[in-house]
Amino acid sequence: MRRVVVVLVCLTVALMFAWGGVQAQGQTPQRGGTLRVGITQEILNLDPHVATAFSSFQVLDLVYEGLLRLNPRTLDIEPWLAQSWSVSPDGLEYTITLRRDVTFHDGSALDATDVKYTIDRILNPATRSPQASFLAPVKEVTIVNPFVVKITLRQPSASFLSVLAGRGRWIVPLEFEDKVGDPRVKTLGTGSFQLAEFSAGSVRLVRHERYWRKDDQGNRLPYADAAVYRVIPDPATLRAALRAGELDLIIGFGVDITAARALSGVAELRVMTVSDLAYSLLGIQTERPPFSDLRVRQALSLAVDRAQLIQVVYSGRATAGGPIPPTVAAWGPIPATRLPNYRPNPARSRELLAQAGHPRGVSIKMMPIATVPEAVQIAQVLKEQLAAGGFTVEIEQVDFATFLARWRGSQFDTFVSLNGGDIDPDVHLYRHIHSTGSTNVFKFKDPALDQLLDQARVTPDPARRRQMYAQVQQAIAERVPFLFLAYADLFAVSRTAVQGFVLSSTRSMAPLAETWLSR
Amino acid sequence: MQRYIAKRLVLLAPVLFVVSALVFALMRLIPGDPAQVLLGFENTDPEQLAAVRRDLGLDRPITVQFVRWLGRLVRGDLGTSARTGRPIVALLAEALPFTLELAVYGLVLAVLIAIPMGTLAGTTTSRLADAGMQTLTLLGLSLPAFWVGSLFILLFSVHLRWFPVLSFPALWRAPAANLWGFFLPALTLAIPNAAAIARMVRASMIAVRREEYVKVARAKGLTEFLVVRRHMLKNALIPVVTLIGIIAGYLLGGSIVVEQVFAIPGVGRMGLQAIVQRDYPVLQAVVLLVTFIFVLINLLVDLLYVFLDPRIRYA
């Protein structure tokens, strides 16, 4: 009898352990379900090489893939559709070997002709691709064999791998335009999801059944059956829909520190955060008075108290960074506190203004961008701060299209905006600061900085490049083409049932392939 | 009567023409370039900008653009969205059902709230009840829709969980779910209009209260209910119907805020986006459509008078 009891007790204990094991296995990914993502901006154009809106990228991240990718956590460059690559010693030839198990959504297999077609399409002026400037160094693409392509450059490009890993350099199949008809509304990629429905207020993606990636247990990705993006322009409604259980994840412009604060502490929700690569900036028209005088630009920089700005606008959830994002440690970002002209000194600011012939200070206009919610707040804080440094600021609120027109025409004294960042310092800085840069709307010209940027661009050795960018950072802070203000924290809020999503500094949505819903 | 309707419909054409010409000119007067909006922040290449402007036909003089647009319109072609490349007819077909339903639903709720409230306020002898109604309608008129809408969502959807936030299934597929999902937006839209209508009903009721025929009806010994319903209300409704007609037109435009707050992809939001992004063809189409419906509703209201008051005749 006693023996029976002992056996029974042992069995019970064993069962309990087994049950515990099953419970723990609840953490293994479950297949199925629909991931409902809330975003605040309209999804406009789905052409992978033409789209520029962040909302479009949020969809395209799941539909298309590049040869390489940035690891969403570490931001390292990793092989993706390309299995491996090699670079010739002179830095001019990139030989890329493709994976053999990748298929497009229509079932056709990826091969070298698709890669050549993609790069040719981006470079074709008729495509009007904003990505063309990134691929400008490409001289030609040759097909070595069905799974190997060779990309030859006109001159060495130290940032070329990171260009291949970036958004917008996504691979499409040969004869893409003929196959899809209108690529602005139809898609055909290799990504984990494919487009099922596209309307003004929502986009529905369904699982790509023959997606090439598998998880560690050998299960084919993605886990979810479908992903739906809902456009909810009002941030308060966005938060409410998440709380009411009608969304699983909210991310993007409406999800800032206000949302994170309002939703942290709600039982069934989880707040995720990471430091952004994008930065807020105070743009300056450096070609005309008063900012054509370097002393006035330095005075402007000295009058700004970034720490206070971050406290007031971002509730402390941002980093006062300089020209290189603080998250990209590999390139030696210099903290703002150690850069010239980045420590607040309003007295020195007034002195410089007086030296520049403005003993009574100067009056300037400041134009915040309408689509970035915190831009107006930044302008208001700057207005107060700059007053102490001798600047009288008039804030000009204009709508988005007007801002864009004036930005492009360099018709401003100063503006407040948000610039997208990049892990490669060349991509991050060159186009804004080099005198021939494609988005140098500041009209900034500095031969010494031009030369430094040009040299760093063609220097393949990372250690030497790093030294050069240390000089670049110092020079930018001294010459003041514009003011780097803050790298804010990014936020996303999900329901606790959402597992496996990684919020990346790049804002990529690609990790939704490994995201699953626990039920 | 038929000649009158025909005449009104013919007059519709010049109204639409003038409105189109005005919007066409105004959109091009305000700063901002649709081609640059299309290219965004990544691209400042002047050649590409010129090419996109050519694609959109913006390189031609404005009169040529207008004539071309009119020519296509006459052939029933509204064109394609500059921003998304999708045909505008398809965009409108997606968006219009949302807005129409919201407007009709909102109007029905407004009338259902306003007529009893206004009647009560206009016939009651209790000063307190009248003052209460007046205060309520004043509140209804003053509270902004974006605030009321947000509050409704927080209270009824997040805390009480009575209504969904984002559920707008098609009416013909799931009628009950549809009416349930649209209730909060429709109510938000209804409140200020209900207040305006209620005030008008109250004022009209007070005006007809002293009419001879009301005295006669009372003298005949009719119950108070019948006096109000048959004799007072019907006569008091003429100015109210005019107001409802005007409101119905405005509801189409007024739904912009409600569509924004409740994330309804309707015509109002489409128009707003078109303005922000300088999508000229879409905005043209939206304005044309709203004008058309507005004029049509006004015609309907004029015809409705005949049925309410047989003394009115159209020759």
Q: Is residue B135 over pLDDT 80?
A: yes
Q: Say if the Cβ atoms of A201 and B265 lie within 8 Å.
A: yes
Tokens 């691979």 correspond to what residue?
A: A171
Contacts of B95 in chain A (CB under 8 A): 200
- Domain holding B238, by residue range, is 92-268+294-308
Contacts of B263 in chain A (CB under 8 A): 201, 230-234, 237-238, 241
A184, A237, A404 ranked by CB distance to B165: nearest: A237
Please check whether residue B100 lies inside any domain of the structure.
yes
Half-sphere exposure of A257 (CA within 13 A, CB side): 15
B34, B48, B94 ranked by CB distance to A200: nearest: B94
Model pLDDT, residue A269:
95
Q: Strands A93-98 and A82-87, how do they pair?
A: antiparallel
How many Å apart are CA B144 and CA A512, to the nearest integer? 38
What would the 3-class secondary structure string for A70-105 be? ECCCCCCEEECCEEEEEECCCCCEEEEEECCCCECC
User: First vs last Cα of chain B: how many Å apart?
Assistant: 6
The answer to whether B217 and B252 are in contact (CB under 8 A) is: no
Q: Exposed/middle/buried for A139, CB within 10 Å: 0-12, 13-18, 19+? A: exposed
Per-residue pLDDT of chain A in tens (519 residues, 90 and over written 9): 455 555 555 455 454 444 444 444 457 899 999 999 999 888 888 999 988 888 899 999 999 999 999 999 999 999 999 999 999 999 999 999 999 999 999 999 999 999 999 999 999 988 888 888 899 999 999 999 999 999 999 999 999 999 999 999 999 999 999 999 989 999 999 999 999 999 878 999 999 999 999 999 999 999 999 999 999 988 889 999 999 999 999 998 878 888 898 898 898 999 999 999 999 999 999 999 999 999 999 999 999 999 999 999 999 999 999 999 999 999 999 999 999 999 999 999 999 999 999 999 999 999 999 988 899 999 999 999 999 999 999 999 999 889 988 998 899 999 999 998 999 999 999 999 999 988 899 999 999 999 999 999 999 888 999 999 999 999 999 999 999 999 999 999 999 999 999 999 999 999 999 999 998
Q: Say if the Cβ atoms of B158 and A244 lie within 8 Å.
A: yes
Please check whether residue B273 lies inside any domain of the structure.
no
- The DSSP secondary-structure symbol of A109 reads B
Q: Does ipTM exceed 0.95?
A: no
Identify which has the larger pLDDT, B74 or B156: B156
B160 to chain A, any CB pair closer than 8 A? The answer is: no
Query: Which residue of chain A comes nearest to B159, CA vs CA?
Result: A244
Model pLDDT, residue A363:
97
Residues 6+ apart with CB under 8 A from B75: none
How many Å apart are CA B12 and CA B14, to the nearest integer? 6
Cβ atoms within 10 Å of A11's Cβ, excluding its own: 10
Please check whether residue B151 lies inside any domain of the structure.
yes
Q: Say if the Cβ atoms of B276 and A399 lie within 8 Å.
A: yes
Q: How far is B229 from chain A (nearest CA, A)?
A: 42
Q: How far is A43 from chain B (nearest CA, A)?
A: 9
Model pLDDT, residue B298:
81
Mutation site, B47, B86, B146, B166, interface A, largest A CB count within 10 A: B166
Q: Which residues pair with A489 in a beta bridge?
A: A275
Average pLDDT over chain B, rounded to an integer: 86
H or E element, residue A381:
helix A374-388
Model pLDDT, residue A18:
46
H or E element, residue A516:
strand A516-517
Q: How far is A258 from chain B (nearest CA, A)?
A: 16
Please check whether residue B224 lies inside any domain of the structure.
yes
How many Å apart are CA B77 and CA B75, to the nearest integer? 6
> Using 50, 70 and 90 to split pLDDT, how confident is the model at B295?
confident
Model pLDDT, residue A7:
52
B75 to chain A, any CB pair closer than 8 A? The answer is: no
Q: Strands A391-395 and A249-251, how do they pair?
A: unpaired
Percent of chain B surpassing pLDDT 90: 23
Backbone angles phi, psi at B307, to 5 degrees: -75, -30
Please report the DSSP string for A213-277 in residue order: -B-TTSPBSP-SSEEEEEE---HHHHHHHHHTTS-SEEESTT-SHHHHHHHTT-TTEEEEEEE-S
- Largest interatomic CA distance in chain B: 85
State both tokens at A19: 């049950």
The answer to whether A438 and B43 are in contact (CB under 8 A) is: yes
Q: Is residue B73 over pLDDT 90?
A: no
Across residues B291-309, what is the average pLDDT? Answer: 80
B33, B42, B51 ranked by CB distance to A405: nearest: B33
What would the 3-class secondary structure string for A119-160 be? HHHHHCHHHCCHHHHCCCCEEEEEEEECCEEEEEECCCCCCH
Mutation site, A124, A167, A237, interface B, largest B CB count within 10 A: A237
Model pLDDT, residue A139:
96
Q: Say if the Cβ atoms of A439 and B278 lie within 8 Å.
A: no
Please identify among residues 213-272 of chain B the ones whose CB lies closer than 8 Å to any CB of chain A.
260-265, 269-270
Cβ atoms within 10 Å of A100's Cβ, excluding its own: 12
Q: Which residues pair with A37 in a beta bridge?
A: A229, A249
Identify which has the larger pLDDT, B34 or A512: A512
Alpha helices in A256-373 (DSSP H): 257-263, 294-303, 306-314, 346-355
A233, A407, A408 ranked by CB distance to B263: nearest: A233
Q: Say if the Cβ atoms of A237 and B153 lie within 8 Å.
A: yes
Contacts of A52 in chain B (CB under 8 A): 39-43
Model pLDDT, residue B242:
83
Model pLDDT, residue A2:
54
Please check whether residue B127 lies inside any domain of the structure.
yes
Across residues B255-265, what is the average pLDDT? Answer: 89
Please check whether residue B66 lies inside any domain of the structure.
no
Q: Say if the Cβ atoms of B41 and A402 lie within 8 Å.
A: no
The answer to whether A108 and A26 are in contact (CB under 8 A) is: no
Please check whether residue B67 lies inside any domain of the structure.
no
Please report the DSSP string for chain B in residue order: -HHHHHHHHHHHHHHHHHHHHHHHHHHHHSS--HHHHHHTTS---HHHHHHHHHHHTTTS-HHHHHHHHHHHHHTT---B-TTT--BHHHHHHHHHHHHHHHHHHHHHHHHHHHHHHHHHHHH---HHHHHHHHHHHHHHHHS-HHHHHHHHIIIIIIIS--S-SS----TTT-HHHHHHHHHHHHHHHHHHHHHHHHHHHHHHHHHHHT-HHHHHHHHTT--HHHIIIIIIIHHHHHHHHHHHHHHHHHHHHHHHHHHHHTT---HHHHHHHHHHTT-HHHHHHHHHHHHHHHHHHHHHHHHHHHHH-TT----
The answer to whether A339 and A474 are in contact (CB under 8 A) is: yes
Query: Which residue of chain B comes nearest to A419, CA vs CA?
Result: B41
Overall domain count for chain B: 1
A–B interface: beta-carbon pairs under 8 A: 137
Identify which has the larger pLDDT, A115 or B273: A115
Model pLDDT, residue A323:
96
How many Å apart are CA A278 and CA A427, to the nearest integer? 12
B58 to chain A, any CB pair closer than 8 A? The answer is: no
How many Å apart are CA B255 and CA B266, to the nearest integer? 8
Contacts of B33 in chain A (CB under 8 A): 401, 404-405, 408
CATH number for B156: 1.10.3720.10
Please check whether residue B11 lies inside any domain of the structure.
no
**Considering only CB atoms, which residues of chain A are within 8 Å of chain B?**
42, 44-45, 52-53, 125, 128, 130, 133, 182, 184-185, 199-202, 230-234, 236-238, 240-241, 243-244, 246-247, 398-402, 404-408, 420, 438-439, 441
Mutation site, B26, B33, B44, interface A, largest A CB count within 10 A: B44
Model pLDDT, residue B315:
58
In tens, the pLDDT along B174-213 reads 888 889 999 999 999 999 999 999 999 999 888 888 888 8
Across residues B221-244, what is the average pLDDT? Answer: 83
Q: Say if the Cβ atoms of A200 and B30 lie within 8 Å.
A: no
Measured at the CA of A466, the angle between CA A460 and CA A467, to 5 degrees, comes to: 110
